[in-house]
């Protein structure tokens, strides 16, 4: 089954490269074909211009992926709300206009962004695949190919720190171990966090070992869809200093600063690569 829709302000390549989802990758060959493992499922997507081809049933598309890819949101509207006098932000949003803030799984984002700290995207992806292959449930497609689900809190809680080290997680191993225990043993309730507002969710997430303000903001943005969450990493910090010495206009962009943060992050990330 193939579901075909037309969508503006949607670039599967930009979503993949923007570093919010670590289990999506481009398939070899010509064209824009991507494969994603998320929410216990496997999905292939192809994009031609503004047409998207989801390799799934209509039921799965409507029930799962429409929400996951935030297809109900009008990103053109958000981009148009940017201050036209803010040359930098206008340029950044134009450059990454196909980015969307995905609605990803909370547990997966907690572990993924703990892994992300002091780390680069290539290695983050490798670490996460190591975890999935070692501790995630193995599934098979109809043609026999294997894929792995993201490990449950219980599965990761059973792993020793030494075993986690073997997944190339480095010093983050003990963070993963502790946090998995906290969730598996019910000390932190993920279902409760899903019902909280931004501030309460931040407070609760920061109780987890290895989760500080930056990581908690990433979790809020990419799992809880708190679009006011504004993660400040090394890229954003640099841009705030160079472009917004007088302060970033958070008041103007109340409620969607996090979406704009993604445009800025992506713009700076890609621009940095071009220089080399």
Partner DNA sequence: CATCAGGCGAGAC
Partner DNA sequence: GTCTCGCCTGAT
Binding site for DNA (CB under 7 A): 18-20, 116-123, 165, 168-172, 175, 206, 208-218, 221, 231, 233-235, 261-262, 265, 269, 276
Neighbours of 82 (CB within 10 A): 18
What is the C-alpha radius of gyration for the chain, rounded to an integer number of angstroms? 19
Least spacing, CB of residue 219 vs DNA, in Å: 9
Q: Which of 72, 112, 79, 92 is nearest to 218 (CA)?
A: 112
Least spacing, CB of residue 143 vs DNA, in Å: 31
Q: Closer to DNA at the Cβ: 1 or 200?
A: 200
Q: Closer to DNA at the Cβ: 9 or 116?
A: 116
Q: Which of 226, 182, 234, 184 is nearest to 206 (CA)?
A: 182
φ, ψ for residue 147, nearest 5 deg: -150, 165
Q: Closer to DNA at the Cβ: 254 or 276?
A: 276
Q: Rounded CA gap, 132 and 181, in Å? A: 17
Q: Which of 274, 175, 184, 258 is nearest to 222 (CA)?
A: 258
Least spacing, CB of residue 21 vs DNA, in Å: 9
Q: Closer to DNA at the Cβ: 253 or 265?
A: 265
Q: Closer to DNA at the Cβ: 63 or 272?
A: 272
Least spacing, CB of residue 214 vs DNA, in Å: 4
Least spacing, CB of residue 263 vs DNA, in Å: 11
List C-alpha distances in Å: 132 to 31, 150, 155.
28, 5, 10
φ, ψ for residue 226, nearest 5 deg: -85, 90
> Sign of dihedral through CA atoms 225, 191, 180, 213?
positive
Element (H, E) at 25: strand 24-26
Q: Rounded CA gap, 150 and 44, in Å? A: 17
Q: Closer to DNA at the Cβ: 82 or 102?
A: 102
Q: Are 137 and 119 in contact (CB under 8 A)?
A: no
Q: Closer to DNA at the Cβ: 152 or 168?
A: 168
């Amino acid at each position: 089954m193939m579901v075909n829709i037309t969508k503006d302000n949607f670039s599967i390549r930009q979503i993949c490269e923007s570093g919010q989802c670590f289990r999506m990758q481009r398939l070899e060959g010509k064209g824009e074909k991507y494969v994603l493992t998320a929410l216990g499922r496997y999905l292939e997507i192809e994009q031609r211009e503004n047409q998207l081809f989801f390799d799934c049933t209509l039921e799965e598309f409507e029930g799962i992926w429409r929400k996951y890819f935030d297809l109900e949101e009008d990103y053109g509207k958000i981009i148009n709300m940017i201050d036209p006098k803010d040359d930098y932000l206008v340029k950044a949003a134009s450059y990454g206009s196909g980015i969307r803030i995905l609605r990803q799984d909370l547990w997966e984002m907690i572990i993924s962004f703990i892994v992300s700290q002091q780390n680069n995207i290539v290695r983050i992806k490798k670490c996460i695949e190591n975890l999935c292959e070692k501790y995630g449930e193995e599934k098979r497609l109809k043609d026999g190919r294997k894929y792995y689900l993201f490990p449950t809190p219980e599965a990761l809680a059973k792993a020793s720190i030494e075993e986690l080290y073997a997944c190339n997680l480095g010093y983050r191993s003990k963070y993963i171990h502790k946090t998995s225990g906290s969730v598996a043993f019910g000390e932190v309730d993920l279902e409760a966090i899903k019902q909280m507002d931004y501030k309460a969710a931040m407070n609760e997430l920061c109780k987890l070992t290895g989760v500080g303000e930056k990581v908690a903001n990433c979790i809020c943005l990419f799992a809880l869809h708190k679009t006011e969450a504004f993660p400040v990493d090394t890229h954003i910090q640099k841009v705030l200093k160079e472009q917004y010495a007088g302060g970033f206009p958070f008041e103007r962009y109340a409620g969607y600063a996090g979406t704009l943060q993604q445009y800025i992050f992506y713009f700076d990330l890609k621009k940095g690569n071009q220089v080399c």
